Homo-oligomer: A and B are copies of this chain.
Amino acid sequence: MEFKYNVRDLKFILKEWLPTEEVLECDRFKDFYSIDDIEQILTEGYKICREVISPINVVGDRNPVTFENGVVTSPPGYKEVFQFIQKNGWGSSSECVEVEGGMPLIVFKSVFEMIAAACPAMGSNIKLTSGAANVIMNFGTEDDKKRFLPKMLSGEWQGTMNLTEPSAGSDVGDALAKAYPTDDPRIYKIKGSKMFITAGDGSICDNTIHLVLARPPQGCKGSAGLGLYIVPKFWVNEDGSVGNPNDVTTVAVEHKMGLKGSATCMLNYGEDDECYGIMLGTPPDEKGRSQGLAMMFRMMNESRIGTGHNANAQASSAYAQASQYALERVQGYIKGERVTIVKHPDVRRMLMDMKAHTEGIRAMIFKGYYSLDIAENSSDKAKAKKCEEIASILTPLIKCYGSETAVAMTCEAMQVLGGVGYTNEFPIEQSLRDSKILTIWEGTSFIHAQDLVKRKMRMDDGNPFVNWMADIRSFIDANKATAGLEKEFENLDMAYTCMDEVKKLYDLWHLNKSDELIGLYATRALFVCSQVVVAECLLEQALIAQRKIAELPGDHFDINFYKGKVASAKYYANNILPNVFNLTEILQNADLTNPEWPEESLIVN
């Protein structure tokens, strides 16, 4: 089935909804991009996704990464496509904003969404390289930058992030990898094992630049004591030339349910005591604290949004396929006529459900990117600070709600196809398998739910969260009388009140140190906030679409797009948002069956 994507919605976001020009006018971008470039960037990006990238998606699934005699081999075509993307400016060189011509997130990510949809395994390879390059760019010395970045950005080398170890998964602070000082104060010997390293090896590049968390001797216990080291697979000399192998051994690749085109590796560092890394940042302070994890998280903050985004991209792609199928497949009768299945009410319900969810979550995601763009690039410091806070609040919502919803949506897409959707004749079963990891990657759903209720609701005395809520309140007040959307705004108003209630409950639970309740209801609190903000975004978009419908002639080619935008908002507000009322009641009841339940009764023996 040909790759199709909802590029029209991306154009709507950048050209009709978000104040994109505010971002493009920032000093960093103004000489490189104008709003008039958006159309072409998206059209061209869509074309390479269709023609170059999507064809290798199924290839990687059917010919997974192999590991034989210590050598990891990527699927056929992966090397060429990786290098095509990187060399032609669709990858890391555009994602790294400090590079001349680096794109704002809202622009880069609109193309990258289609790349992730066309081939998520390839998307990961690009993403990890950009991430590692961004860390070096932000925290490396000038020498480090010269040594590593040119080839990382050109497609010759790739990058990775090494956090997880066999006994340190969600709890990174338990990492056992060690960094031993040498005569050179910036060079450390690295020793340890890392697992689940995405793009950890493979045959797509000449060298791999690993960023590795490890604990120097003075490092304190826990995550604060971890330093961050640049550990190339092959040593890179100061002049940028490649030296000897650096004692980094691939021990295994994981056999995963999906993303089979991407090598998820277990790596041993320093088996022969000959692995060297270059320290990023400074040695531990007098309390043994390093900035290793903080440096990595600076890059991971955007990665978390990116993970929710990746999930939504796959759900959107599954929706696009399902919608095509529904238009073509003839089955069943209505009023005596054989019909295409799109005529059946439940098929329409499922398509609507996918459309509203993926568009609404996409809007929330791009609000996040916009906020990060302004936070990092605006000369208006007050505005930048506010946007940073907003991005910080949206991050766990996007990561958790985006990835959890994507799995449900790909399941729904398969349901539209019926039996054939369960076979590999159609790409949906691959999307389902590929996307499920995203509820786990970059912190599980629960970790993000805790981030919301323990940190984001409370940072800076809770003011940013209160301000964020106040903006939603103002939006409702300003628009609730909009003709044709009264009921939807009424629902949003009630849902807002629920969110306010949930926030107050959490204030109380924090005051009472009710740790069990705080943890137990965190995921549901996150769903409440997410569904409110998604509904708000969709209604913002519906207001624009309503105006367009009023302006355009009824037979205009684009009229159905705008009608569809209004419908997405209505559907979500009337069919999904009421879930918030329900969840809020459940939180208010604060059922404690869980903590009172004997642990033994939970286990099947």
Contact = CB atoms under 8 A, between A and B. Distances in A.
Interface of A: 4-6, 164, 167, 169-171, 174, 196, 254-258, 319-320, 323-324, 326-327, 330-333, 338, 342-349, 351-352, 355, 407-408, 411, 414-415, 418-419, 421-425, 429, 432-433, 436-437, 439-441, 444-446, 449, 487, 515-516, 518-520, 522-523, 560-561, 563-564, 567, 570-571, 574-575, 578-579, 581-582, 585-586, 589, 591, 593-605
B603 A324 contact: yes
Given A444-B415, A586-B574, A323 B563 contact: no
A255 B597 contact: no
B601 A561 contact: yes
Contact of A597 (B327, B352, B596): B352
Nearest to A342: B599
Query: Which DSSP category, helix, strand, loop or mixed, fits chain A's interface?
Result: helix
B346 A520 contact: yes
Contacts of A254: 422-423
Given A255-B424, A352-B602, A579-B582, A419 B571 contact: no
B591 A424 contact: no
A411 B445 CA distance: 12
B567 A597 contact: yes
A446 B346 contact: yes
A418 B560 CA distance: 42
A167 B418 CA distance: 12
A586 B575 contact: yes
Contact of A432 (B345, B436, B519, B579): B436
B333 A171 contact: yes
Most chain B beta-carbon neighbours within 10 Å: one of A5, A171, A600, A605: A605
Contacts of A196: 419
Contacts of A589: 487, 574
Contacts of A603: 323-324, 326-327, 342
A194 B433 CA distance: 28
Given A324-B604, A331-B170, A423 B256 contact: yes
B257 A433 contact: yes
Given A254-B423, A564-B602, 19 more contacts: A171-B333, A174-B331, A255-B424, A256-B423, A257-B423, A320-B604, A342-B599, A342-B602, A344-B446, A345-B594, A348-B594, A348-B595, A348-B599, A349-B594, A419-B441, A432-B436, A567-B601, A578-B586, A582-B582
Nearest to A4: B604
A487 B170 CA distance: 36
Contact of A560 (B345, B411, B563, B600): B600
A604 B5 contact: yes
B423 A440 contact: no
A338 to B, nearest CB: 8
27 contacts: A6-B604, A170-B331, A171-B333, A174-B338, A255-B424, A256-B429, A257-B423, A319-B604, A323-B603, A324-B604, A342-B602, A343-B599, A344-B446, A344-B519, A345-B519, A346-B446, A415-B444, A415-B445, A422-B440, A560-B598, A564-B598, A567-B596, A567-B601, A570-B591, A571-B593, A574-B591, A578-B582
A539 B169 CA distance: 38
A284 B486 CA distance: 57
A398 B585 CA distance: 27
Contacts of A444: 415, 418
A169 B567 contact: no
B449 A346 contact: yes
A577 to B, nearest CB: 10
A432 B257 contact: yes
Nearest to A222: B333
Given A601-B567, A602-B323, A578 B585 contact: yes
A518 B348 CA distance: 13
A258 B520 CA distance: 33
A117 to B, nearest CB: 11
B591 A571 contact: yes
Contacts of A560: 598, 600-601
B342 A593 contact: no
A561 B603 CA distance: 10
Contacts of A596: 567
